C-alpha cells in the first residue's frame, strides 16, 4: 500500500491543489478518470465559449445590413468548427497530463478511483478497483459534476439524446434541434446551434428562460429568444421517444395542456448533479445533502477529519471561478494548515447567450425592506446606441445606505461589464462610488454607471 502526504481526487480545480502541494514538498497523488482540466476545459466552459464565439460572429454578420454593411453568411463549416475546437481542447488537456507526469513529487493516476475508507482510495490500474490502494491523512475531493438525466421522463432509457458534453462534439449540424431545459445550458446551446443554422425549439418548465435571474433580466432574454427560436415555456417534458429517425418530446403544462414536438436531435439540458456517488463518498463516511452535494463548513472541511471538498461536488457555487477560489483556500488549509475561512468577494456570473446576461448579488425578488432600483438602457449611452441592440439594460439594486445589493445586465458584453461592480464591492465601494467614478466616454461601462446614477439620484441629465 502506497502512502502519500495528500491525495487530490479530481483533475479540474484539483490540479491547482495538487501542483501546489507537490511544490510545497508534499508527496502528492492526483486521481482523475478522464482528461485533466475537468468539465470546464473538456466538456464545459472552454469549448462552449470557443464555439459560441463563432455563433456571435455569424450573428454579427447577419445583422450587418442594419448598419449599412452589405454582408451575408453563405455557409457554415460546422464539422470543421467543432473539429478545430475539439483539437485545441484535446491538445491543452494532453499538455496538462504531460506536465503532471513530469512534476516532481506528484504521482498522476489517470484511472477510475473511489473511496474505500475514510482516508483510503482504491484506483483501477488495470486489475479493477481491488488493485492499488493508498492512504493519506489529508485528502481534497474536487470530484466535479455531470449532466443530470431526469429519470421521471418516460422513455429515457430507450431514446437517444445528447447531453451538453455530447452537443459540444457533435459532428453534423442537426436541421431541427429540440432542447429540454430553460437554464444557462439551454440558452447558450440554443444560441450556438441557432446561429450555425439549426431550427431550435426549447421546452422549459418556467414561464421565462433563466428563471433564477432577476425577473426583468429573464423577461428581456426570453423576449429576445422568442424572436429567434420556438419556445414552449411552462411545459414539462413527460416522455421522449425515437420515431423513424425523429426525436419526439411530449410535454405537459400545469393546466394539463399537452404538446408533441419533433426534431432530428434532442438535447437534455436539465441541470447537473454532483459526482459524489461516483467517488463512493459514503464509504469514507462523508456526509452529503439530499441532492448529493458534499457538505462542508466555512473552511471547506467535510464531516471526515482531514478531508476537504471544493468545486461542483461541494455545491457552494457551481462556477469554475468559484471552484478556483476554493482551490486557493484548500491550498491554504489542507496544504499549508493556515485554516482560512472561505470568502467569495465580488462573486458574479454570466450566461453567454445572445444577448449575454450577467449578475452579481441579490435579484430584486430576493430583497426585503427599503431599497432603490436604478436602470440604464444601452440605447441611452453613446456606444450602446451605436450597437443597435434594442432592449438591453443594466439594473442596480441599492439599499438606503448606499450598499450595493445587486446588479444585473442583459446585453452586449454583459459578462465583462459586471466586473466593474464585483471589483467595486470586493474593494469596499458603494453605489455612490460607482456613480461618481469618472468613466471613459463613450465606453459601454457607462451603461452600468448610468444604472447606479439612477439608483442614487446622482447629478443632472442636462439638455
Angle ∠(53,58,63) on CA atoms, nearest 5: 125
Q: Are 325 and 300 in contact (CB under 8 A)?
A: no
Separation of alpha carbons 251 and 234, rounded Å: 9
- Residue found by looking up cell 456571435 in the block: 56
Among 63, 349, 441, 460, the active-site one is: 441
Name the percent of the chain in helix, strand, coil, to the closest 5. Answer: 35, 25, 40
Question: Exposed, middle or buried: residue 389 (CB in 10 Å: 0-12, 13-18, 19+)?
Answer: buried
Both ends of the chain: CA-CA distance in Å? 79
Is residue 336 among the annotated active site residues? no
CB 208 within 8 A of CB 219: yes
Are the CB atoms for 293 and 276 separated by under 8 Å? yes
Q: How many CB atoms lie within 10 A of CB 157?
A: 8
Hey, what's the cell of 322? 468559484
The three three-digit cell numbers of residue 334, written as one number: 489542507
Cα distances (Å, whole numbers) of residue 43 to 37, 67, 101, 275, 416: 9, 36, 22, 15, 23
Pairwise CA distance, residues 347 & 437, whole Å: 21
What is the SS3 string spanning 287-334? CECCCCCECCCCCCECCCCCEEECHHHCCCCCCHHHHHHHHHHHHHHH
How far from 26 is each of 13, 21, 134, 299, 317, CA to CA, in Å? 18, 5, 15, 21, 29
In degrees, rounded to 5, the angle at the alpha carbon of residue 111 between the alpha carbons of residues 110 and 114 is 125
Dihedral Cα 133, 134, 137, 140, nearest 10 deg = -80
DSSP conformation class of 242: E
- Neighbour count for residue 375 (Cβ, 10 Å): 16
- The residues assigned a catalytic role are 441
Amino acid at each position: 500500500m502506497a502512502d502519500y502526504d495528500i491525495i487530490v481526487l479530481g483533475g479540474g480545480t484539483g490540479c491547482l491543489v495538487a501542483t501546489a502541494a507537490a511544490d510545497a514538498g508534499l508527496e502528492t497523488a492526483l486521481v482523475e478518470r478522464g482528461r485533466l482540466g475537468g468539465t470546464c476545459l473538456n466538456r464545459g466552459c472552454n469549448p462552449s465559449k470557443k464555439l459560441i464565439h463563432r455563433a456571435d460572429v455569424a450573428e454579427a454578420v447577419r445583422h450587418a445590413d442594419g448598419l449599412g454593411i452589405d454582408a451575408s453568411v453563405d455557409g457554415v463549416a460546422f464539422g470543421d468548427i467543432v473539429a478545430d475546437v475539439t483539437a485545441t481542447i484535446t491538445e491543452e488537456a494532453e499538455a496538462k497530463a504531460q506536465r503532471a507526469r513530469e512534476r516532481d513529487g506528484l504521482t498522476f493516476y489517470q484511472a477510475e478511483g473511489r473511496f474505500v475508507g475514510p482516508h483510503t482510495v482504491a484506483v483501477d490500474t488495470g486489475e479493477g478497483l481491488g488493485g492499488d490502494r493508498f492512504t493519506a491523512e489529508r485528502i481534497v475531493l474536487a470530484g466535479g459534476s455531470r449532466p443530470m438525466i431526469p429519470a421521471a421522463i418516460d422513455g429515457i432509457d430507450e431514446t437517444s439524446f445528447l447531453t451538453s458534453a455530447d452537443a459540444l462534439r457533435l459532428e453534423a449540424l442537426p436541421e431541427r434541434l429540440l432542447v429540454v431545459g430553460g437554464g444557462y445550458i439551454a440558452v447558450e446551446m440554443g444560441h450556438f446551434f441557432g446561429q450555425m443554422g439549426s431550427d431550435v425549439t426549447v421546452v422549459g418548465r418556467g414561464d421565462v428562460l433563466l428563471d433564477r435571474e432577476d425577473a426583468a433580466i429573464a423577461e428581456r432574454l426570453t423576449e429576445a429568444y422568442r424572436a429567434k427560436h420556438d419556445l414552449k415555456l411552462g411545459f414539462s417534458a413527460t416522455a421522449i421517444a425515437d420515431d423513424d429517425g425523429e426525436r419526439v418530446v411530449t410535454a405537459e403544462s400545469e393546466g394539463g395542456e399537452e404538446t408533441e414536438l419533433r426534431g432530428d436531435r434532442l438535447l437534455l439540458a436539465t441541470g447537473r448533479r454532483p459526482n459524489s456517488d461516483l467517488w463512493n463518498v459514503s464509504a469514507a463516511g462523508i456526509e452529503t445533502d439530499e441532492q448529493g452535494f458534499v457538505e462542508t463548513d466555512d473552511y471547506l472541511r467535510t464531516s471526515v477529519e482531514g478531508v476537504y471538498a471544493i468545486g461542483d461536488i461541494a455545491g457552494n457555487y457551481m462556477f469554475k471561478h468559484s471552484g478556483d477560489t476554493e482551490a486557493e483556500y484548500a491550498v491554504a488549509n489542507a496544504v499549508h494548515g493556515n485554516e482560512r475561512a472561505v470568502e467569495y468577494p465580488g462573486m458574479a456570473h454570466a450566461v453567454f447567450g445572445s444577448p449575454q446576461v450577467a449578475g452579481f448579488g441579490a435579484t430584486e425578488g430576493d430583497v426585503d425592506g427599503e431599497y432603490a432600483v436604478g436602470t440604464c438602457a444601452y440605447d441611452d449611452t453613446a456606444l450602446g446606441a451605436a450597437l443597435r441592440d434594442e432592449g438591453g439594460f443594466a439594473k442596480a439594486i441599492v439599499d438606503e445606505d448606499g450598499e450595493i445589493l445587486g446588479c444585473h445586465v442583459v446585453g452586449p458584453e454583459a459578462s465583462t461589464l459586471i466586473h466593474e461592480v464585483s471589483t467595486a464591492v470586493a474593494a469596499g465601494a458603494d453605489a455612490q462610488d460607482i456613480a461618481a467614478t469618472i468613466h471613459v466616454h463613450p465606453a459601454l461601462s457607462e451603461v452600468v454607471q448610468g444604472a447606479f446614477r439612477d439608483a442614487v439620484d446622482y447629478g443632472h441629465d442636462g439638455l
